[in-house]
Amino acid sequence: MKKTIGEFTEAAAVRQQADDALCEIADLKGTIAHLAAKCAAEQQKIIDKYTADIVAFETMLESCEKSLLALMKANKAILWGAEATNLKQFAIPHSEIVYLENGELRYEVSTPVSLPKSHEALCEHLISLGVGYVEAVKIKKSLDKDQVNTWPDFKLAIVGLTRKGPKEAFDFTLKGEGK
């Protein structure tokens, strides 16, 4: 089928519109990149201006937190009672809280299990012991969507899946810009 002069003119006009849009998009992206770089430079100036002060306050904060923890440890009998000095009496996890005007102090005793550095052998042993032990082994399962998308329709039907209808996608690439 031959195209008429009107069809060539219409196609050229649509192509010109699309090319003009690409040009405008490229210009806008350039402007955005320029402004983002300018913004980043201004942000860096502000960060540089306050960094030394922030580091000094963070150092003071760390020192203050360590001092509070040392105070709590040194005075645990006063804060949580004489029983807090005898860890052997806590066979199960234990916690207490002292509420103060500006916050709360927590005292916790836990009884963690000593685990080997490599968990593989322990996991295999727990699995071999079965119910009551296997629950401690985490197994992460996930679906490989790309693999399922390659399956033929009959295979999808066996597992109760259906393929969605056709999906259109439009995209563009600016000259000199890769995706």
Compute the distance between CA of residue 175 and CA of residue 23 in angstroms, rounded to an integer.
9
Can you give the pLDDT at residue 72?
92
Band of pLDDT at residue 80, cut at 50, 70 and 90: confident
Compute the distance between CA of residue 107 and CA of residue 40 in angstroms, rounded to an integer.
45
Is the pTM above the cut of 0.95? no
Q: Which of 158, 119, 159, 120 lies closest to 143, judged by CA?
A: 159
For the residues 88-92, what does the mean pLDDT come to? 72
Best-predicted range by mean pLDDT (10-14, 83-87, 164-168): 10-14
Can you give the pLDDT at residue 115?
78
Q: Is the pLDDT of residue 119 over 90?
A: no
Q: Are 12 and 6 in contact (CB under 8 A)?
A: no
Domain positions in the chain are 1-74, 78-112, 115-163
Compute the distance between CA of residue 97 and CA of residue 99 in angstroms, rounded to an integer.
6
Q: Is the pLDDT of residue 179 over 60?
A: no
